Amino acid sequence: MIETGKQKHVKVIGIGNSGVKIASRLYGLEMAGRLNITALDTDGLSLEQSSLPNDKKLLLDGGWRKGKGCGGDVLKGQRSMARERGGIEKLLDGASLLILTGGLGGGTATGGAPAFAGVAKKMEIPTIFVMTMPFSLEGHSKRKIAEDGIRELLPVVDVLLCLPNDLLFSTLPADTLVTDAFKNADLEVARAILGVSELVSVGNLLPADLADLSSVLNQKKSVCSIGVGVAASSDGLNRCHLALERMLDSPLLGGVTKLKEADAVFLSLTGGPDLSIGDTKKTFDAAIKFIGNETKVIIGANTDQTYSDMVQVTAITVNFDKQEKKPGVSKSDSFLAETRVVDWKSDEKSVSSTGFEQGELPLQNISRGIFLNTTQVAYDGEDLDIPTFQRRMVIVDKGE
Amino acid sequence: MFQQRDIVTAIEIGTSKICVLVGESTQDGKISVIGHGEAPSVNTVVKGEIADMDTALEQLTSAIEAADASSGREISNSNIIAVAVTGSSIQAYQGTGTVFVNSEDHRITESEMNEALQNAQVKPLPFGQTIINTFDSYYLLDGNRRVRNPFDQTADKLEAFIHVIHGDTNRIENFRSIMRDAGFEHEITPVFSGIASVYGILTDEEKEHGVLLVDMGAGTCEYMAVFNMGILASGVLPIGFEHVANDLSLGLDLHISVCRKMLIDGTIARHVQERQGFLELRTSAGNLRKIPLSSFEKIIDLRLREVFQIIHKNISDQGIFRNLSSGGVLTGGAALFPRTAEIFKSVFEFPVRVGQPFDASGAVTGLENPRYSTVWGVLKFGEELNRIINSRRKRGMVGAFIDGFDGLADLVWRTLSNLKHSITI
């Protein structure tokens, strides 16, 4: 017999400095009660500052890093995570879905996330990675690290959502306090995670699940954005419209036009047991007005005890890459196009500045080894005798 | 009573090993292995081609001697001597030949089939190229009915589609001349390694429903797409498991012999299985080196993935993906490394099994290993060829006359023999 009523056990893991912050923020939200949240970092200090209870935060690789963090070194992050493989497996044991969040561009998250994905894949747990891209003010090098990280992640995760941090501040007035701004940023990402987790949890009214999401995202290379809006009955008369409005205002969505331009939109509505069919219809009718005619819409609706008196509207927009590319080939290249679409302002700057930058020299010594004296094998303009990793400019850790 | 024994000798000069098998046809149409000899190639073969004739000859001679001794000195009585050939020079094309059926009842006779097959072969090869093997892929009747065997069918037009495998004359000749040097005076039949593996390890069901065979050895990687008992595509990539060892050696500053050993003895596979984060090695200086396992995985995965992606591209360019419903079969030494099949599977997104000789019988056993797929296939190919030649001889003058192959001497027939489903793969 097939177990059908099995409770979904959603594991949320925040990794690295920003992951810990997001996890703590998420823990504070009352709707997140059913999520199993854990924060991991190599930096003891960031864990100490977190408001999570002690059993929810774990110091990574204390033996080698001694709680001092990775200092932005991706290799160190990779190594730390490699040493903790056994621990990760224990952590993920029994999970039916893994949502991992963290800030790309740092050491622990960028290096560690692929290891997580690998372990989850082996344990056959579906994965959603919600990663933030660094602020453009953090510099070009960080962005490059983040992009390299994405390249590693893409082939191993089921769903990868990249949220550009720049968008978070786009809606804030310039005189907002810095602490508030960052708090807001974490909160927005936490909400997005919550929204995603709702989207893929068993839709007991209208089904839309992880399979829908990953099948759409896997079709072609795509850019996505997330908007989440929550409203309670106490907020006003029409809580559904309010939630929808808040969703549209959500900075990570990037404006109402995003919905109109999207190639596919996932809409999900979560409410308490008091959710009425009228509310549901009203919300979806209103939401669909914002969505273009050509757009594929996938709708899910859900009720949950923790949402009594509240409704939450989540939208994930997906824009396919306009240049059609064969799936499976050079996924990484098309991702670069994504970041360009998302923050064109910062990119313009970097384009003009690269004119003066010296190109990066590959540190690797390109060689053919034992095939030095043999007939060359050329394919597509590449010498196949040269190791693939050298041609792809992949840096390999030689160990210590 | 004295009876002529049907002895077949199969030889593979591979990048990792030189292997000789001696087999005998049994009454029930199977072949039993009566002799086996093997010698390491000690770097005389690079990417499937012989680089050092002298040393290769030495090794070949010792392998032949071992096989001869174990078979009870039967090699010299061989009816067929077949040798596997491979290398980057080998290419293939699909030829088409058309014949209009003009006879009164429009039924296709053998002579029309032969004519169509001959017409299909007229495409001139580039200078310095020679045909190794030819197979019929399928026939088309009246431009729309696809059949495996058109004999006795009624049609106005018959088109034969054949698969021709050809290679650089001089490089193929190397395989022949080294055999002559080793003391064989018989005509030597070359067989493309990929074809041999098709004979060796595929089941009839797979060949019927369509399958992609990838034979990844130490020096080369052959691939064959087989559908409805005919070959649709084939090719060689001069990349083998030696490349993986070389990549590891360059990437991690290890000696090539250490890398080869780790890949062969399962050290890496075992560590992956146990999910250990690091691999500890003692260097020649006596220090302990810890290398993250992920580095090994990264280098190996990138290389293997690239190989299968190239094959994927070559296959999909020819648009025959829909014909491969039985999935893939992986064989050759690389199949012993578990990750290879996993990557094959993930690149092609269809089921993949590891193939190895399954029906070997006789005095010599222990051939149930992906390493022996090619040489076992060469033996089966040789046996099949032997059977066909025998059956033609027995039929005598009248039989040959009816065939339309009249007047062809045995030797000529032998070179043409690959044609027509005379050889059923």
Q: What is the pLDDT of residues B202-241, one digit of tens each?
A: 988 898 889 999 999 998 999 999 988 888 899 999 999 9
Given an 8 Å threshold on Cβ–Cβ distance, is A379 in contact with B310? yes
pLDDT given at position B193 = 93
Q: Say yes or no to pLDDT of B340 above 60.
A: yes
- Maximum Cα interatomic distance, chain A, rounded to a whole number of Å: 80
| Average pLDDT of the residues in A226-232 | 82
pLDDT given at position A221 = 57
SS3 B103: coil
Which of the four pLDDT bands, split at 50, 70 and 90, describes residue A339? very low
Q: H or E segment at B55?
A: helix B53-71
CA A194 – CA B311 distance, rounded (Å)? 43
Please give, rounded to a whole number of angstroms, the shortest distance from the CA of B348 to a CA of chain A.
10
Q: Say yes or no to pLDDT of B87 above 80.
A: yes
* Chain segment B120-147, per-residue pLDDT in tens: 888 888 888 888 888 888 889 998 888 8
CA A391 – CA B12 distance, rounded (Å)? 33
| Residues B299 and A387 sit within 8 Å (Cβ to Cβ) | yes
| Average pLDDT of the residues in A43-68 | 78
pLDDT given at position B40 = 92
pLDDT given at position A3 = 42
CA B336 – CA A32 distance, rounded (Å)? 47
pLDDT given at position A8 = 62
The mean pLDDT of chain B is: 84
pLDDT given at position A348 = 38
The count of other CB atoms within 10 Å of the CB of residue B28 is: 6
Which of the four pLDDT bands, split at 50, 70 and 90, describes residue B425? very low
Q: Which residues of B touch A368 (CB under 8 A)?
A: 246
| Residues A133 and A165 sit within 8 Å (Cβ to Cβ) | yes
| Average pLDDT of the residues in A315-328 | 61
Which of the four pLDDT bands, split at 50, 70 and 90, describes residue A322? low
**Structural tokens at position B186:** 């018989």
Determine which of A370, A380, A394 to mutate to test the interface with B (most B C-beta atoms within 10 Å). Answer: A370
Which residues on chain A place their C-beta less than 8 Å from a C-beta of chain B?
Answer: 78-79, 82-86, 89, 115, 122, 328-329, 367-371, 374-375, 377, 379, 384-385, 387-390, 392, 394, 396-400
Q: Say yes or no to pLDDT of B406 above 60.
A: no
pLDDT given at position A200 = 65
Distance set, CA B402 to CA B108, B109, B111, B392, B405 (Å): 14, 10, 9, 11, 8
Please give, rounded to a whole number of angstroms, the shortest distance from the CA of A104 to a CA of chain B.
20
| Average pLDDT of the residues in B158-183 | 89
**Structural tokens at position A272:** 């308490």
pLDDT given at position A7 = 54
Q: How far is CA A108 from the centre of its chain?
A: 15
Q: Which residues of A touch B305 (CB under 8 A)?
A: 388
CA B8 – CA B182 distance, rounded (Å)? 16
CA B187 – CA A325 distance, rounded (Å)? 51
Which is more confidently placed, A53 or A343?
A: A53
Given an 8 Å threshold on Cβ–Cβ distance, is A374 in contact with B278? no
Q: Which residues of A touch B239 (CB under 8 A)?
A: 377, 384
Which of the four pLDDT bands, split at 50, 70 and 90, describes residue B405? very low
pLDDT given at position A363 = 53
| Average pLDDT of the residues in A82-101 | 84
Given an 8 Å threshold on Cβ–Cβ distance, is A399 in contact with B252? yes
| Average pLDDT of the residues in B312-332 | 89
* Chain segment B279-290, per-residue pLDDT in tens: 888 777 778 888
The count of other CB atoms within 10 Å of the CB of residue B46 is: 23
Q: Which residues of A touch B302 (CB under 8 A)?
A: 387-389, 392, 394
Q: Which residues of B touch A78 (CB under 8 A)?
A: 292, 294
Q: Which residues of B touch A85 (CB under 8 A)?
A: 275-277
Given an 8 Å threshold on Cβ–Cβ distance, is B302 in contact with A394? yes
Of the listed ranges B3-17, B187-201, B399-413, the least confidently predicted one is B399-413
What lies within 8 Å, CB to CB, of B21 at 6+ separation is: B9, B10, B11, B33, B35, B36, B67, B364, B367, B375, B376, B378, B379
Q: Say yes or no to pLDDT of A325 above 50.
A: no
Given an 8 Å threshold on Cβ–Cβ distance, is A371 in contact with B243? yes
Given an 8 Å threshold on Cβ–Cβ distance, is B299 in contact with A389? yes
Which is more confidently placed, B397 or B203?
A: B203
Percent of chain B whose predicted confidence (pLDDT) is above 70: 91
pLDDT given at position A383 = 85
Which is more confidently placed, B333 or A290?
A: B333
Q: Which stretch, A292-296, A348-352, B119-123, B161-165, has highest mean pLDDT?
A: B161-165
| Residues A263 and A181 sit within 8 Å (Cβ to Cβ) | no
Given an 8 Å threshold on Cβ–Cβ distance, is A377 in contact with B247? no
β-pairing, B328-331 vs B288-292, is: unpaired
Q: Say yes or no to pLDDT of A196 above 50.
A: yes
pLDDT given at position B213 = 95
* Chain segment A232-254, per-residue pLDDT in tens: 877 777 788 888 888 887 777 77
CA A204 – CA A100 distance, rounded (Å)? 24
Please give, rounded to a whole number of angstroms, the shortest distance from the CA of A14 to a CA of chain B.
22
Q: Which stretch, A316-320, B136-140, B292-296, B345-349, has highest mean pLDDT?
A: B345-349
Which is more confidently placed, B112 or B391?
A: B112
Given an 8 Å threshold on Cβ–Cβ distance, is A389 in contact with B251? yes
CA A130 – CA A316 distance, rounded (Å)? 12
Which of the four pLDDT bands, split at 50, 70 and 90, describes residue A220? low
Output the DSSP codes for A95-137. -SEEEEEEEBTBHHHHHHHHHHHHHHHHTT--EEEEEEEPPGG
pLDDT given at position A204 = 60
CA B296 – CA A398 distance, rounded (Å)? 9
ipTM over 0.90: no
Q: Which residues of B touch A367 (CB under 8 A)?
A: 250
Distance set, CA A15 to CA A30, A48, A278, B50 (Å): 21, 14, 41, 54
The count of other CB atoms within 10 Å of the CB of residue B185 is: 9
Nearest C-alpha in B relative to A380: B310
Of the listed ranges A103-107, A112-116, A310-314, B363-367, the least confidently predicted one is B363-367
Q: Say yes or no to pLDDT of A43 above 50.
A: yes
Which of the four pLDDT bands, split at 50, 70 and 90, describes residue B79? confident
**Structural tokens at position B417:** 């023999």
Q: Say yes or no to pLDDT of B92 above 70.
A: yes
Please give, rounded to a whole number of angstroms, the shortest distance from the CA of B204 to a CA of chain A.
32
